[in-house]
Amino acid sequence: MTRLAISAYDLSPEEFLALASCAEAAGISRLWIGEHLFWPANYASVHPTGGGHPTEEKQEHAKPVVGPETHLNDTFALLGALAATTTTLELATGIYIAPLRHPLLTVRGALTVAEISKGRFSLGLGAGWLEEEFTALDAPYSQRGKALDETIAVLRAAATGEPFAHAGEVYSFDAVSFEAPNYRLPIVTGGNTPRALRRAAHLADGWANSASITLEYAKELRDALNAARREAGTADRAFEFSVRPESADLDEVSSFVDAGFENVIVWAHHFWPAHGVSNLDDACAEATEAMRALVEGIS
């Protein structure tokens, strides 16, 4: 049975809480939340997005991904509120930019959300792309891939509840320990590049594509990821594929369902006003109806 999720970004905490409530009522399985920490003034970095197959030329957004008009939130604070005000809706980061923080800070926040949500949380991690964000935080932009890999290793070690130390190329610390988690914390990685697929195959419990993609490209990525998992010797390990079509049209979403994709993500802006809400009750009623119709349409 296909599980329908939504992905949201650039909403106020009040809107996120309302959206989560009506998504849960509509039968949505999971809410993915995106993040940035702040908007660097006059940044030159370009988001590597594009529909369908990516091109060699990076494409500019018509609207900046981050800017003075973008509503940004602290990820773990928001997740704690969402976890405390829902009961069945699963939560995920899509994505949490791990190399911007020391991995021990990531462990602390993620384990706390897992506890509050009683295991309804998956940690979606990415390497990031906004170089100016890294520069402002004195974070290792040129080593962000290695930093991400080391963060995953630290998360895995922390999950044992046993003392552990870490000596890597980016991070190094003496033995520390965390309380043994009461709930499993699945780690999801994303990205469409061969390197990103290899990382998912070797290190993750699940994968989600970058941006929005066509069905044919989704199939190609699934095949490539399955091949990478066979090569890594992880093909028998439980693994969750999540894909984001280019629209929330019932026919398009159904085509992904028919192709065997069991976790489909659609952007929340297909249901929720993109430029602020004047009446939360009205917005929630309309979004609930639209989301429920899509859930029922693919069931």
Distance separating alpha carbons of residues 175 and 154, to the nearest angstrom: 11
SS3 category, 8: strand
Tokens encoding 30: 């999971």
Local confidence pLDDT in tens for the 299 residues of the chain:
889 999 999 999 999 999 999 999 999 999 999 999 998 888 888 777 643 333 334 444 445 688 888 899 999 999 999 999 999 999 999 999 999 999 999 999 999 999 999 999 999 999 999 999 999 999 999 999 999 999 999 999 999 999 999 999 999 999 999 999 999 999 999 989 999 999 999 999 999 998 899 999 999 999 999 999 999 999 999 999 999 999 999 999 999 999 999 999 999 999 998 777 889 999 999 999 999 999 999 98
Place of tokens 């981050």: 66
| 33, containing H or E segment | strand 30-33
Contact 49, 210 (CB under 8 A): yes
Q: Is the pTM of this model over 0.75?
A: yes
Enumerate the H helices of 65-210 as residue ranges.
75-84, 103-116, 131-137, 144-158, 194-203
Angle CA 35–102–212, to nearest 5: 30
Q: How many domains is the chain built from?
A: 1
Tokens encoding 25: 């009522």
Domain hosting 8: range is 3-298
Distance separating alpha carbons of residues 208 and 64, to the nearest angstrom: 23
- Sign of the C-alpha dihedral computed for residues 47, 13, 121 and 114 taken in this order: positive
Contact 4, 266 (CB under 8 A): yes
Place of tokens 């049209």: 249
Q: Could you tell me the CATH number of the domain that includes residue 195? A: 3.20.20.30
